[in-house]
Amino acid sequence: MSNTLEGKVMLVTGGGRGVGKDIAALAAQHGAKVMINDLGSELGGDGVDVGVAESAAAEIRAAGGVASASGASVTDRKAVAEMIDQCVDELGGLHYVVNNAGIVRDRMFHKMSHEEWDSVLDVHLNGSFNVSNAAAKIFREQESGCFLHMTSTSGLIGNLGQANYMAAKLGIAAMSRSISIDMQRSNVRSNCLAPFALSRMTESIPDQGATDNSAHLDSIRKMDPAKIAPLVIALGADSCDVSGQIFAVRGNEIFIMSQPRPLRSMHRSEGWTPETVLDHALPALESNFTPIERSRDVFCWDVV
């Protein structure tokens, strides 16, 4: 095993289970000291189980690695600040932050409550900001550091009944881009990753007996969460200078995702009226419209 992250301290939120746990384990195998943060809550965010983070950390230590555990909620700024201090005190610093913590509370948009909206944005978007903002001071002082934020094709493309999750995940992509711009002068990098993997979140997608959805879920269940970790480790290496990008991993496939850029333009020297927009601009631009698709419509081929 190589020492890609030798001498680094990595913080992984939501690191007690699933994708986060696999990332933490592989990071430790590649030389990193790992702080595993996990509130240990249920999928919807209810409950607390501090043993989830500690159990994952204990597995790393049993395998010969170095790991500490934190049960801090990423929505609690004071607890996050204490967790960052814990990283420095127990592991000797902080070099890589993986924002992976999340919950889901899926519901059709017109039936979604304000609490369901707020809670998902609070964990995903606000939580990612809280952890990144607290770590930024250390990164600026040492003039180095790396962020990896978990986005989702639910936000980048779309999914049914996930307005809160979609808004949070697309917001995370924008936040990551902002960090890559604002902290470039401090040699701090920031990227996003949309993972395809079997997890508690993907298992929560309703089947509802639909043939196409059942096939989609069967496809997801073939995706090993451990396949996500190698790209995460590589993006934290000193030899990597990649920043401001959005990646996706699906089985053995790695994708670079597009980001919003102009596709086509129309102009009239005399300006536009509602009538000429309807008669000229919209018909001319229509071939470049983005269809209303779900993630599974775009990633429609079998897992490699």
Establish whether 96 is a catalytic residue. Answer: no
Cβ proximity of 20 and 100 under 8 Å? yes
Tell me how far apart the alpha carbons of residues 131 and 82 are, in angstroms, rounded to a whole number.
Answer: 11
- DSSP structure string for 36-71: EE-----TTS----THHHHHHHHHHHHTT-EEEEE-
Contact 193, 247 (CB under 8 A): yes
DSSP class per residue in 114-160: HHHHHHHHIIIIIHHHHHHHHHHHHHHHHT-EEEEEE--HHHHT--T
In whole angstroms, give the CA distance from residue 97 to residue 12: 6
Radius of gyration of the chain (CA): 21
The CA-CA-CA angle for residues 146, 149, 155, to 5°, reads: 155
Q: Which of 165, 196, 247, 299 is catalytic?
A: 165
The CA-atom distances, in angstroms, between 103 and each of 36, 40, 123, 145, 152 are 17, 11, 7, 26, 13
Contact 214, 241 (CB under 8 A): no
% helix, strand, coil for the chain, step of 5: 45, 15, 40
Tokens of 209: 């007996």
Active site residues: 165
